[in-house]
Every structure is written in C-alpha cells, then in structure tokens.
Amino acid sequence: MDYEEELKGWEIKGKADVYTVIEYVAKGGFGEIWKAERKSNHQPVAIKKLLSKHRSTSSSIDKFFQEGALTERLDHPNILHTYEVGIDPKKNICFLVTDFLDHDLSVYLRKEREIDSSSAQKIIVLVAEGLHYAHTQGVLHRDVHPRNILIDKDGQVYLSDFGIAKVLEESPLKSKIDNFYSNCARVRTKETSLESELAKFGVTDTGDAEDSGSREIIFTLARGNPAYASLEVLRRGIKVATAKSDQFSLGQVAYELFKVIGDQRLCKVAETAMKIDPDTRFPSVNDFKETLQTVPDYLHQLRSYQDIGKRLGLAELEQLYQLAQKAHVENPVNKPLFQPILGQVEDEQVAQYAQFLEELVQNTGKKDIQPAVLELQKKVVPVLREIEKLAGRT
C-alpha cells in the first residue's frame, strides 16, 4: 500500500465527532484519503490527511486548510462540503472530513464503467453549475480534472479539492477566508493557540512552497494539473488563471468524456470551451452549461416514445427505444455509429413526432386513429430498421 503509516482502526478526535478509520483509499499530492465512520451515527465519511512531508511549512498547511475553509462556506449541492477541519495533536495529523463518495469521473475515461450520452451530459452540466457558483462567489478552482469530480452511488455529482483555489479580492468570502485560522476547527480549545499546535509539528517558517523543498508539489502550485491546464496557465503560471481558465479545464474533461461515448455533437460544444484564446471561449461557465443543455437528448425522446407506445400498444415504438438503447449502451462498437443514424430524425421532426404522439394519446377513443397510427409507423419504421442493423437484430 502507498500510504505513510497504517491508520486502520485509529480514532481521530475532531471537534464535531470522533472518526474511526476503516480503510485506505488513495493518495494525492497533498494528502491521503481514508474511509472512516462517525462514532455518533456510524455514517461513512472520508478523512483527508495532510502528508507529513508537507507539515513542516505553514504555506503547505495553509493550502490544505484553505480547502476546508472554502468548502465549509461554498454552499452548493454540486460542491463537496467539508464538515470539519482540524488537528489531532495526539495522533500528530492535520485532517479534513467530507462525505465518502463512490467513485470519480476517471472510471468512465478508463472505461471501467459504462456511461451513456445522457448521463455524461448531465455530469458535466452539474459540475458546471457548481463551478459557476464558485465563480459568482469570487473563487477560482484552478485544478479541475477528472479525479476532482466525484460521484456518489445515487449519481449525484460533486466538484472537490479547492486546495489551490484563489479567492478574489471582490469575493464576499474574502474576509472570512483571510481569517480561516480562527474560523476553522483547528484550535481545539480557547486556551490552545494555533501557533502552539503547529509548533508541535515543527512549523516555524512562513515561506512559500518553493522555499520549503517540497519539489513534488511545486508544479501543481505553479500550473495546476498540466493535462487539463489552459495554455495561458501553462505559459505564465497559475497566478494568471481566470474563470475562463477553469472553463478550459472543464471543457477538456468534458471533451474526453464525450469522446469516450462517441457523441460528436457534445464534443463540438466542449471544443469551444477549449479554445486557445480565452476571448473566444464561452463568456462564462454558465454559458458553456446552457449550450450543452441545448443539445437534444435523443434517448430521452425515445423514452417518451416508449411510454406512449405502451399506452397505444405500438410495438414498433417500444422496439425503437429498446434497440436504440442496446446499440448505444450495450454495444460499444456501435456507439460512434448510433448518433448519425438517429440524427436522421431532425430536431424539428422529433418535436413534431412528440406532439403528434401526444395528440394520438388524447384521441385514442376516436375511430379515425388507425390512419394516424399507420402514418406514424411509416415515419418511425425506417429509422427502426437502421437501428436494428446496428444492434445486430436483422
């Protein structure tokens, strides 16, 4: 295992609760993630422990605890919330406590789990909503990448890891974050000062990361994750990052995800967010999100067809959805082929079909419904046949 020391079975005492460590999960640039359990209600949580090599400088500790200070105050359903940030002097560790989540976005990029275009589109939209909210609060994330996008067992999406985020001068959170030493739960009692707690770890300097000798994190602090950093950040460093730099990083994540599912329509939207010139990207992350939402979800349309088809007894409509889903999800080879075939049904036609189907439902008692049904079948069956070929059903 790639952890500094075995924590399994430890009881970490925080201000809000006591946490029993269950198992090791992962290691990052600044800390280790351990799964733990609240002693009060036995609910699972994640404990992020600052690596010991970063405890010798106040700058590294600042970065670690800034994440807790920010995510305690950024109140949004798509930003991972920190419940507690503290120091356990007896265990000699600095820690954060968050929800324990099932997986991160990278499992889809590595193709360890299947995902359809509708779910992929929804994930990026939800991350964009969380990121846009952070921007409206004057906070730049500066490190958006797949492992920082977490997903729980119910499919809820969270943006995490604000360790190298920047709080802008105009941010309503600025004064609170400037005082996060006193606001965070790092001082265990009124009689114990932060300085004395840090002194136990040998923290005596106030230099930056470059002075600390922690070379492993210098590039992250200077550039963010290079694979997802914008060109302006790669050229001039993280200090020049803006909201459009965050947009670029999310666009890169989105493009990789949409490429995996073979949806070129969504890829084209992501490409705009990834433009080299920041001025040619979307005006904001919210504009990126809204443009993504305009891309039709054909599978969603087919689901509505299936429901209506069941009510009308139209086997073809049920088959259309089932076979389309099979071609799109269960047969990866057919993924790139599926969208062009279904794309033969123009957006306007999809809307017309949906309206026509609703009219059919409303008129099921009328004698003249059969001609209308036959007309509908003439329009739908050719597309059905193409999808049958893709799904190997002919």
CATH of the domain at 56: 1.10.510.10
255 domain-assigned: yes
The pLDDT assigned to 372 comes to: 58
User: For position 279, what pLDDT does the model report?
Assistant: 96
Task: Say if residue 38 is in the same domain as residue 135.
Answer: yes
* 285 and 364, same domain (yes or no): no
Q: What's at 315, amino acid-wise? A: A
pLDDT by residue (tens digit) across 277-326? 999 999 999 999 999 999 877 666 666 656 656 665 666 656 656 655 55
Q: Each residue of 235-251: pLDDT tens digit?
A: 888 889 999 999 999 99
3-state secondary structure of 230: coil
Domain count, the chain: 2
Closest CA to 282 of 227, 240, 245, 236: 245
Helix H or strand E encompassing 258: helix 243-261
Joined together, the tokens standing for residue 89 give 């002097």
Stretch among 88-97, 192-201, 311-320, 334-343 having the lowest mean pLDDT: 192-201
pLDDT band at 393 (very low <50, low <70, confident <90, very high): very low
Query: Which residue shows structure tokens 């079909």?
Result: 353
| Phi, psi angle pair for 156, to nearest 5° | -70, 140
Residue 1 lies in a domain: no
Asked if the structure places residue 4 within a domain, the reply is no
| Pairwise CA distance, residues 326 & 321, whole Å | 9
Q: Is the same domain home to 286 and 308?
A: no
Does 215 share its domain with 306? no
Q: Do 75 and 196 sit in the same domain of this protein?
A: yes
Of 246, 265, 293, at which residue does a domain stop? 293
Quickly list DSSP for 277-331: SGGGS-SSHHHHHHHHHTS--HHHHHHHHHHHHHHHT-HHHHHHHHHHHIIIII-
Most confident by average pLDDT, 103-112, 292-301, 322-331: 103-112
pLDDT of residue 209: 35
* Between 261 and 216, the higher pLDDT residue: 261
Based on the domain organization, do 181 and 243 belong to the same domain?
Answer: yes
Given a cut of 60, whether residue 192 has pLDDT beyond it is no
| Residue linked to tokens 């050229």 | 235
Residue 384 confidence (pLDDT): 58
Which residues on neighbouring strands pair with residue 393, listed in sequence order? none
- End-to-end Cα separation, the chain, in angstroms: 51
Q: Which of 67-81, 128-142, 179-193 bottoms out in mean pLDDT, i.e. has the lowest?
A: 179-193
| 91 is a domain residue | yes
The answer as to whether 6 is a domain residue is no
Q: Measuring CA to CA, which residue among 96, 88, 217 is closest to residue 164?
A: 217
- Cβ neighbors of 110 (< 8 A, separation 6 or more) are none
Domain limits at 324?
A: 298-390
State yes or no: pLDDT of 217 exceeds 50.
no
- DSSP-derived letter for residue 16 is S
Answer with the one of 250, 278, 293 that is the final residue of a domain: 293
Q: How far is CA 132 from the centre of its chain?
A: 13
Percent of the chain with pLDDT over 70: 60
Same domain, 268 and 305: no
Does residue 286 share a domain with residue 153? Answer: yes
Of 45-54, 164-173, 335-344, which one has max mean pLDDT?
45-54
Q: Give 286-293's long-range contacts (Cβ < 8 A, gap of 24+).
A: 286/128, 286/129, 286/132, 288/128, 288/247, 288/250, 288/251, 289/124, 289/125, 289/128, 289/129, 289/132, 292/121, 292/124, 292/125, 292/128, 292/254, 292/266, 293/121, 293/125
> Is the pTM of the predicted complex or chain greater than 0.75?
no
Task: Note whether 231 and 368 are same-domain residues.
Answer: no
pLDDT in tens, 20-59: 999 998 887 778 899 999 999 999 999 998 887 776 666 6
75 & 194 share domain: yes
**Average pLDDT, stretch 224-235?**
84
Alpha helix stretches (DSSP H) within 49-105: 58-73
Q: Do 311 and 243 reside in the same domain of the chain?
A: no
Inside any domain, residue 362: yes
Query: Has residue 336 got a pLDDT over 60?
Result: no
Q: Which of 293, 328, 361 is the last residue of a domain?
A: 293
Token pair of 223 as six digits: 């550039």
Res. 270: pLDDT tops 80: yes
Q: How far apart are CA 168 and CA 137, in angstroms?
A: 9
Same domain, 198 and 343: no
Give the torsion sign (CA, 361, 366, 370, 375).
negative
Rounded Cα distance between 7 and 18, Å, is 14
Q: Which residue has the higher pLDDT, 354 or 109?
A: 109
User: Considering the domain boundaries, does residue 5 fall inside one?
Assistant: no
Q: How confident is the model at residue 184 (pLDDT cuts 50, 70, 90)?
A: very low
